[in-house]
Amino acid sequence: MFDIKKELKYIQKIFRYLKLEPIEECGITTFLNDDVVFAKTASNQYLIKITPEDAMYERNYAENKVNRIKALESIDSNGVHAIFPIKFNDKYFIGYKNREYEIYNFRLTRHLTKKEVTPKFLKRIATSQAIIHKLNIKLDLPCDYCKIDIKFEKVLKKLKKHYKDAYDIIYDNIYHLEEIQGHYNKNLKYAVNNLVVGYDYYDLDNIDWIENYMFLIDYRNCNKINPAVSLAESAYYFAYIDGQINYQIYEDYIKYYTKRFGPLTFDYKEALFVALNKKLEFLSVLLETTIKEKEDNSLRIKELVAEIINYDDCINEMYNAYIRAVKKK
């Protein structure tokens, strides 16, 4: 949370510099999972995202941010709506008082829950993902796939004394987790050789809606991705409801996607292994913060390990669902 009175003073100065109308009303709301300033002028409404100096140089924020916005603009111009910062004087970011400001046109959007995703919405989401993957956008963007090397035996030694619940779940599943990590790393080298510019984290947290129209909302999710891995992640995300995979939803998502994208050029079984990258990476982070920062993440570790194990146990069935969907197409 920030001091709205102080920030308003700065924002008013920025608006004068940009020759925008004076702010008549303002408040704090949420956008992109952050607190942002809502500002209303005589004829427009804006959202202003403020990034303080200590966060301006974090890798996920700073790396290739302009190219990420350009990628999202390209996606938007090709039929998949997106929300991105307004460009002023050829700049997306306004620096002032050790901060960076991003100004967005305000739109009254909403999030959907998984239970609100009807077949019509699911088709729209899957089809738009396929459209993005076919665009062949030429921009220099990073790839977030990386080798994961959790030393589970060392982790056990460090958890044993103070974090019994986390210790027990890792101990009970150590061989299965090592096998999963091994499969992931083995298939990773194939994934990184088949990359396109796309929109990562293609889920309901990163998609807003205005009536029946969807909007991608976070340029920071524009990365180089493997289309098959991205498809596997999204199909699983939308099908995973109340701790179980709904295979009809899974199959439908792939059917809608492949109808627009066409045949995949990457083996889907390999993609299923690599699609665990975010969950394995998050597990690594949870274990590290528990051990190094003395933060007890036992419950989250327990839930995440259970989901990873369940996912791995279902890989063959997810692959079979993919084969059924492709044949039906």
Instruction: Provide the residue ranges of all domains of the chain, joining segments of one domain with +.
Output: 4-58+86-105, 114-328
Residue 292 phi/psi, 5-degree rounding, is -85, -35
Distance CA 144, CA 277 (A): 9
Query: Which CATH code of 3.90.1200.10, 3.30.530.20, 3.30.300.10, 1.25.40.10 fits the domain covering 114-328?
Result: 3.90.1200.10
Residue 58: is its pLDDT beyond 60? Answer: no
Chain segment 33-48, per-residue pLDDT in tens: 778 899 999 999 999 9
| Length of the chain measured in residues | 329
Kindly indicate the confidence band of residue 63, based on its pLDDT and cuts at 50, 70 and 90.
low
Per-residue tokens: 238: 């939308």
How does the average pLDDT of the chain come out, rounded?
Answer: 92
Per-residue tokens: 132: 């993005």
Could you tell me the pTM of the whole model? 0.91
Chain segment 178-224, per-residue pLDDT in tens: 999 999 999 998 899 889 999 999 999 999 999 889 999 999 999 99
Q: Among candidates 237, 223, 213, 240, which has minimal Cα distance to 146? A: 223
Chain segment 268-289, per-residue pLDDT in tens: 999 999 999 999 999 999 999 9
